[in-house]
Chains A and B, each alone.
Chain A
Amino acid sequence: MNRIKTSLTATLLVIAPTVGAVAEPPNIPVLVPLTGFLSLEGTSQRNGATLALEEATARGLDVAFDVSDTATAPETAINAFIRATDQNNVVAMVAPMLGTQMLALLPLAEEFKLPLITVSGTAKITELGNPFVFRFFPGDAVVKRAHARYAVEELGIKRPAVIFQTTAYGQSGRTHLSQNLTDLGSPPVFEEALEVSVKDMLPTLTKARQAGADALLLHLHAGSTALLIRQAAEIGLDLPIVAGSAMHQPSTAALLEPRELAGVCAESGSSPISGGSPKVADFAARYQTRFGSPPDAFALGQYDGVAMVLAAIEAGADNADAIRRSLSANPYPGLAMTYRSDGTGNMAHDAVIICYNGTDRIPQVVQRYESPQ
């Protein structure tokens, strides 16, 4: 009986959050979806995070990390989280793109007092008053405002069609996009939800045309975005297209011929392959060398986020709480933009609009929407 009591006590002691264990390097587990329908974005996330961590290790900073797949289900993310917290001296975590998984992890982050570094766009994750979430990609509230403003203010769109995916990404983006369009005086005349498995876009394009839409505003994943753009080009649908952030990913553009992309624009947090500054170009080159593929904005955002955590560690923050305080209090000049918490964990407040000119698959940044702060 006594023995059981002792082991129970021991177990309880283990369960109590271990903060600042001695002699262990700070540990930043990387929890991202590497299998399932969001594995493309998750892989970018992983690459961005590991690049930052590897470069920090190379310059002598003692940090530990390992990568876990969270697949698509919330329970897999929770399993990975708990598994990661069984390691010593976890000071922060790279948390998955997938909004549902973020929502599942938030209570745990609060319970374990661990900052989560993510690029998930789902608006809701920073609306719950959780002080442990830090988003290094402009959330839907930011990018969808840019999306709507560009369409209405620059393109003069009056009757937009909003086409979105039936996933967390799509539904959250649609809510903000439609709201912003309405606020700007151009409410959508047509809205449709598409399953990821929808192959033929003609019905949707037909309905949008019949509704009298004067532009297509997309908030779809990579495959659906490319399918829709190609089919629109194929039937000669002469409407401007402003796509969601999936369009800016180089692998999306790779599915299309440059001429099919002519005139297509998209919102994003950044566009690392478009260059812009020598630092970003250098990042893109290093990334290409390391992973054999060009980076996207998710990779850059995640890179910046992890770099900010590492900078905090280098500045002396040696535990989860110190890192959390540092992230929420200080601005950080990242490669894509300057990050600064708005008090709810939104770190990125700038969005860009990129457009393709029809001659290649490298988009140009045509508009930058800086934070109003």
Chain B
Amino acid sequence: MVDKLRLGDLNRLLLLAATIAVLAGAVWGSRYDQRLLALAGVYALLVLGYQFIFGHAGALSLAQGSFFGIGAYVTAILGTQFGQEFTVTFPLSILVPLLLAALVAVPMLRLETHYFALATLAFGQTVLLIATNAEGLTGGANGLPGVPGVVIAGLAIGRGTPMLAFVWLWVAAGALLSWQLTRGLYGRGFTLLRAAPLVAATLGIDTAGRRFTAFVLSAGYAGAAGALYAHTIRIVSPEALSFSIMVICLTMTVIGGRLQVSGALVGALLLTHLPEWFRPLQEYYLVANGGVLLAAVLFAPVGIAGLASRFGSRRSTPSAPLPPTKPVTAASPDGARLEVAGVGKSYGAIIALDNVDLSMAAGEVVGLIGPNGSGKTTLANLISGFDRPDSGTLALDGHRLSRLPPHRIARLGLARSFQTPLMPPGLSVRDTVALARSHIEGASAHQALTDISRTALSRAQAAALALLHRHDLAAYSELPADSLPHGVRRRIDVARALAAEPRLVILDEPAAGLTEAEAKHIATLLRQAADAGTALLIIEHDMNFLLPLADRLICLDRGRIVATGTPESVVKRPAIRQAYFGLAP
């Protein structure tokens, strides 16, 4: 089957060009050409790994260079001081950085953006400090010379062509693994994770788990690259851990492309050769190198492969329709019971919720109304697990919610739409909705590895298409969701919330910005879902939309429930009439 998301035709051309360059170098290249190509292969592997955490997970890790150095040191120390062969040193060079990454990931991945970057930077500087000063183990600043070449079962891989081929064999393996991991339903989920981590979590995608996987994978790749570096250079010194390696890796990734396998190869090949081409300029050669880097990022800010994707064929070959794992219903037959008891929450001096009780039965439609700042969204956030209550309990079908992360709550059957519908950039409407089926189809790194024909993706897409038909959105299915008008995006958001076969759905102003006809259509679909057993909690200001739909209304004001009952009984209350219908009490 032909991949159609990331590998546009131009990217396949890039891949081909890189392969030809390496093959040509292996056959006709001078020693110098082969040496640079081998080094480019080492960096390509490093960048392929970095794409997981920096490209797919979107976290600026500044530790990739350090994991590279650690891998190199493991090979060097075991090779020079313990006389170990490649078959022992290589797996350990991958394993040690991988385990270290797993260890530091737990506290570090909690941090956001630049704080995460700083933590990874400080980690790298600490490792560098140790390597420079622990002279007994690491040889200090001089490093460890005499790293043995690659010997496998008595067979030595010589310098030049054999080593070049050997390095690129690993690059090919790494590229294949990376491609397989990221081209299916699991890989596509990262687009949503980067653009809107909260949305991803409410769809049952374990964002923290995926960041962890990406970080650990990137460290493993870096370790492998470091080991091959040690075998190619035959000496490992603190230079391998220095920040300049990190800068090279970052630059290769941005210039080549953050997400595409072809980007890693092209970035590594180009940036390894670039300074060498400028050598005739003597002392100004690095100035010229900087100039070209600058030009490259100005010309292609999304990277060369990113640019190729943009110009690459967007026409997709329709995939063979596979039936979804579970038949698509508007909702699962059994709705959930929500129990909120005595919940309180304050932010500093502001009391957002004060002793709120709410219970909902399966199939019940509850409208949540109240002025701005009355605590409606806070309540929704507490139920979704974005925030923890100060007091009280929340339970879904008897499962206590207050300790669970959002994605676990989502997997218990909660779905949610948001005030501002967030669509991951560049993803088609069909795939945007298909992502909501991630946990139903069991999307995971493990599945991505074994699911060669991408059945999970096909099934999720089929389910999404069926749902889009029901929601009258089929015409948009191949268009990028983030480019559509607000009203359509809101309808997609509702469809996405229902796609996960939820048992309780929280909808935050689903009718806002819709035409009357659109709102009516949504109301019909929601009614169908409720009739099938799904409980709906709808935050809404639009009474024309809400009144016919809701079985019960709850009115919040300054964090307290001030009214509850059937829509008729609640709207009869003077305060409500004044607030919502502008009528005198």
Contacts and interface: CB of A to CB of B under 8 A. Distances in A.
A122 B142 contact: yes
B72 to A, nearest CB: 11
A104 to B, nearest CB: 4
B194 interface: no
A15 B142 contact: no
A292 to B, nearest CB: 15
A15 B135 CA distance: 37
Interface string B142-161: 11011000000000000111
Interface string A10-26: 01001100000000000
A103 B140 CA distance: 13
A318 B423 CA distance: 72
Contact of A171 (B28, B140, B159, B161): B140
Contact of B133 (A7, A34, A193): A193
A85 B234 CA distance: 18
B458 interface: no
Contacts of A75: 39, 229, 232-233
B450 interface: no
B39 A72 contact: no
A75 B72 CA distance: 13
Given A11-B161, A82-B35, A166-B132, A74 B235 contact: yes
A315 interface: no
A78 interface: yes
A35 B282 contact: no
Interface in A72-106: 72-75, 78-79, 82-83, 85-86, 99-100, 103-104, 106
B235 A11 contact: no
A124 interface: yes
A244 interface: no
B234 A86 contact: no
B237 A74 contact: yes
Contacts of A7: 27-28
User: Most chain-A CB neighbours within 10 Å: which of B133, B159, B237, B242?
Assistant: B237
A74 B239 contact: yes
A67 B27 contact: no
Contacts of A15: 31, 160
A171 B145 contact: no
B157 to A, nearest CB: 15
A145 to B, nearest CB: 20
Nearest to A87: B32
Interface string A150-190: 00000000000000001111111000000000000000000
B160 A73 contact: no
Interface residues of A, number: 39
B283 A34 contact: yes
B31 A82 contact: yes
B32 A83 contact: yes
A4 interface: yes
Nearest to B235: A104
Interface in B459-516: none
Interface in B226-273: 229, 232-235, 237, 239, 242, 244
Interface string B383-417: 00000000000000000000000000000000000
Given A11-B161, A73-B239, A73-B244, A103 B142 contact: yes
A65 to B, nearest CB: 13
B282 A67 contact: yes
A100 B141 contact: yes
Contacts of B27: 4, 7-8, 11
A21 B155 CA distance: 33
B279 interface: yes
A107 interface: yes
A124 B142 CA distance: 9
Given A100-B239, A104-B235, A166-B133, A82 B142 contact: no
Contacts of B32: 79, 82-83, 85-86
Nearest to B149: A107
Contacts of B232: 75
B276 interface: yes
B87 interface: no
A157 B160 CA distance: 54
Nearest to B39: A75
Contacts of A82: 31-32, 35
A103 B146 CA distance: 8
User: Most chain-B CB neighbours within 10 Å: which of A4, A167, A168?
Assistant: A168
Interface in A1-59: 4, 7-8, 11, 14-15, 34-35
Interface string A109-137: 00100000000001010001000000000
Contacts of B159: 111
A225 interface: no
B298 to A, nearest CB: 24
Contacts of A99: 141-142
A86 B30 contact: yes
B141 A104 contact: no
Contacts of B28: 7, 11
A350 interface: no
A128 B160 CA distance: 24
B233 A78 contact: yes
A7 to B, nearest CB: 6
B36 interface: yes
A69 interface: yes
Given A103-B143, A168-B140, A35 B132 contact: no
Contacts of B133: 166, 193
Given A79-B276, A193-B133, A170 B233 contact: no
Nearest to A78: B233
Contacts of B29: 11
Interface in B560-577: none
Given A15-B31, A69-B283, 11 more contacts: A73-B242, A79-B35, A83-B279, A100-B141, A103-B143, A124-B142, A124-B145, A128-B145, A166-B133, A167-B141, A168-B142
27 contacts: A4-B27, A7-B27, A72-B244, A75-B229, A79-B35, A82-B32, A83-B276, A83-B279, A85-B31, A85-B32, A86-B30, A99-B141, A100-B141, A100-B142, A103-B142, A104-B145, A104-B233, A104-B235, A106-B145, A107-B145, A107-B234, A128-B145, A166-B133, A168-B141, A168-B142, A171-B140, A193-B133
